[in-house]
Amino acid sequence: MNEIKELPQELINKISAGEVIERPSSVVKELVENSIDAKSSIIDIYIRNGGKTEIRVSDNGVGINSKDVKLAFKRHATSKLSDHNLQKISTLGFRGEALSSIASISRMKIYTSISDIADGKSFEVNSGLIGELKPSPRKIGTTIEVNELFYTTPARLKFLKTENYETLLIKQCIQKLALSNPEIEFNFYSNEKKIISSLASNNPNSNKKLEHRIVSLFGSEFFKNLIWFNEKIDCYNFYGFIGLPTFHHSNSAKQFTFVNKRPIHDRYLYNSIKAAYKDFLSYDRFPQVVLFINSPLEDVDINVHPTKNEVRFKNMQNLRSLLVRSIKKGLESAGHRSSTINTFKTLDIINKNKNNLNFMTKKVEDPLLSNNYFKEANSKNSTEEICQDYPLGLAKSQFHETYIISQTKNGIVIIDQHAAHERIVYEKLKKNYNQNNLETQILLIPEIIEVISEELDILLNHRDFLARYSLLIEKFSNESIIVREVPLILINCNISLLMKDIISDLIEIGDSQILETNINKICSSMACHGSIRAGRQMYQDEMNKLLREMESTPFSGQCNHGRPTYIELNLNQIESLFGRK
């Protein structure tokens, strides 16, 4: 039989490195977080070959004291957890694992100085063994070079992806850290090429600071489709930029969430964001957000996983409902705003067609522009001036009996009449429904639904929640419930299927929007029938009325599935199409 032996420290470090350091981007994350914790104001990151050959992070932080050097590379050694208090963690790192982990699987070089006077030191660390300290003058701060990552663990090296992909992951990692630290300057170079260069913003306003950072990382187009929101509820502060519902992606890559300024990748948070957008987006589309949550330090536990990507909240359910509420409130402020991305799609199409001159000439002769088909509105309208102050402008005409064109102060707007009206009717129906307390049909023959006993407990615990939606349940036996009353609007639904869905929601996320979703679905189909269709001729007054209603209706910028209800082209864009600018 084999003896039980204690593993040598070197092996322990390699094992733990497997958890903390998964790929080059993890090294970047750990090193940049160290730099941030060291109160740096400029952080430069250089990589070669996707970080596989070299990663270098250089900062102007406080530096490492030469007497602490050896200690820094020991496992669970850290300067950040001073008072042995795991309940209140304010620094990004605290486990004391990063340097020792990286050191055990690579060759490192460290240059550090704690003052601008020439007292800098440099030393090498090879697979965990610390070399001799040599004097090496530098300004205050630390530079850490990581070479030949994973050379001691060839198995992991094999699992790395292509250089491009690893570079992308590193870029995303830096973007996240940069978003949460707008007061620090970030520069990122890959194979000597500048990828990110984002200056620090001195603006005292946190909203402007973040705006500056977002524009420099993702460009101004991305920013134009975001709405600022800032809500303080209970002990939480939610703020950041949330995307317009018409600005959506096929994945959650551009959902950035931060808890106490720490980038977090958490399923619960993503689910909550999704829930907040539920009414505006189809289920397979993802909104874009840069969302910060500030919570009292003692209410969150970040010591869940060595990579610190996940958090646990003391009261997740409460947080979730507060978050959903505040995002919705933020979205409401957007009113009818629609995403500019659609404008660019339109311009793209026109620009493509421009190359084909024959086609363009034909287009000009098209009946579209001839007076017979172009149902021209009163061209000399005395109210024109006034109307142009409206965000959606004054309706000029309708074409193909489906779209309305309106003129605004500095451009034109094309509106899909059915989509726009449907949303207005839908919002009205919902409002009306919520005002007229939910009417209830008492069941003549109550429905008995079989559940397992755990589900039974959960349902009974949420009886009040269900009763708020006029769904009245009682315990029938140890393994079944009885439904006594259902909301009138849902009488034709399959109640047992509905209950099963509610149960799985309650188990998974501790809350359920199924009822609301079902009610909204019915409102939505009623709205579809109750709204004007494509193909109906509209008079100018009708069109203008529709525009005014869109302006005053929340969420009227998109239909119920996240499609835009209108597209705006401004004069500059039109002029550039004609080569005037």
Partner 1 sequence: MDFSVSKKNLYSCLSHFQSVVEKRNTIPILSNVRIKTFESCIEITATDLALEISEKIDAKINLSGELTVPSQLLFDIVRKAPDNSEIDLREEKDSGQVFIFFGDSKFSIGYLSTADFPVMENEDFDNKMLINAKDLSYLINNCKFSMGIDESRQYLNGIYLHQTLDNLSSVATDGHRLSRCQTKITEKLNDFKGIIIPKKAVFEISKLLEGFDKKVELKISKSKIQLSIDNLIITSKLLNASFPDYESVIPKNNNLIMKTDCNAFSETIDRVSTVSLEKFRTVKLDISNDLCVVSSFGQEKSAGTEQIKVKYTGPNININFNAKYILDVLNVLKAGEVSLTFSENTAPTILKSENSPNSLYLIMQMRS
- 439 part of the interface to partner 1, by CB under 8 A: yes
The residue range among 111-119, 321-329, 401-409, 493-501 that interacts with partner 1, by the rule CB under 8 A, is 493-501
How far is the C-alpha of 45 from the C-alpha of 188, rounded, in Å?
5
- 494 part of the interface to partner 1, by CB under 8 A: yes
Of the residues 28, 327, 489, 515, which one makes contact with partner 1 according to CB under 8 A: 489
Q: Which amino acid is at 8?
A: P
- 443 part of the interface to partner 1, by CB under 8 A: yes
Cβ of residue 444: shortest distance to partner 1, in angstroms?
4
Contact code string over 523-562 relative to partner 1, x by CB under 8 A: ---x------------------------------------
Sole residue written with tokens 């950035």: 256
**Residue from 216, 228, 220, 147 nearest 188 by CA:** 216
- 71 part of the interface to partner 1, by CB under 8 A: no
Q: Which is nearer to partner 1, 447 or 542 (CB)?
A: 447
Beta bridge partners of 558: 564
Q: Which is nearer to partner 1, 4 or 442 (CB)?
A: 442
Residues contacting residue 268 through CB under 8 Å, at least 6 positions apart: 316, 320, 509
The residue range among 142-150, 220-228, 258-266, 442-450 that interacts with partner 1, by the rule CB under 8 A, is 442-450
Beta bridge partners of 236: 233
The four Cα atoms 300, 303, 305, 311 give a dihedral, to 10 degrees, of: 0
Q: How many other CB atoms are there within 10 angstroms of residue 192's CB atom?
A: 7
Contact code string over 419-438 relative to partner 1, x by CB under 8 A: -------------x---xx-
Q: Which is nearer to partner 1, 447 or 516 (CB)?
A: 447
- Structure-token pair, residue 486: 């259902």
- 250 part of the interface to partner 1, by CB under 8 A: no
- 442 part of the interface to partner 1, by CB under 8 A: yes
Of the residues 371, 478, 492, 537, which one makes contact with partner 1 according to CB under 8 A: 492
| DSSP letters spanning 386-398 | HHTTSTT-EEEEE
The residue range among 233-241, 268-276, 454-462, 485-493 that interacts with partner 1, by the rule CB under 8 A, is 485-493
Q: Which amino acid is at 531?
A: S
Of the residues 447, 501, 505, 516, which one makes contact with partner 1 according to CB under 8 A: 447
Q: Which is nearer to partner 1, 228 or 476 (CB)?
A: 476
Of the residues 9, 205, 441, 576, which one makes contact with partner 1 according to CB under 8 A: 441
- Structure-token pair, residue 532: 């004007």
Residue 489 contacts residue 433 (beta carbons within 8 Å): yes
Cβ of residue 434: shortest distance to partner 1, in angstroms?
12
Q: What angle do CA 154, 155, 158 make, to 5 degrees?
A: 85
How far is the C-alpha of 262 from the C-alpha of 320, rounded, in Å?
18
Cβ of residue 467: shortest distance to partner 1, in angstroms?
11
Beta bridge partners of 289: 242, 255
Cβ of residue 352: shortest distance to partner 1, in angstroms?
42
Sign for the CA dihedral angle at 145, 147, 152, 153 comes to: positive
Of the residues 495, 514, 528, 577, which one makes contact with partner 1 according to CB under 8 A: 495
Cβ of residue 428: shortest distance to partner 1, in angstroms?
8
How far is the C-alpha of 256 from the C-alpha of 342, rounded, in Å?
23
Contact code string over 455-474 relative to partner 1, x by CB under 8 A: ---------------x----
How far is the C-alpha of 496 from the C-alpha of 272, rounded, in Å?
25
- 398 part of the interface to partner 1, by CB under 8 A: no
Helix axes 267-277, 316-332, angle to 10 degrees: 40
Contact positions toward partner 1, by CB under 8 A? 432, 436-437, 439-445, 447, 470, 485, 488-489, 491-492, 494-497, 526
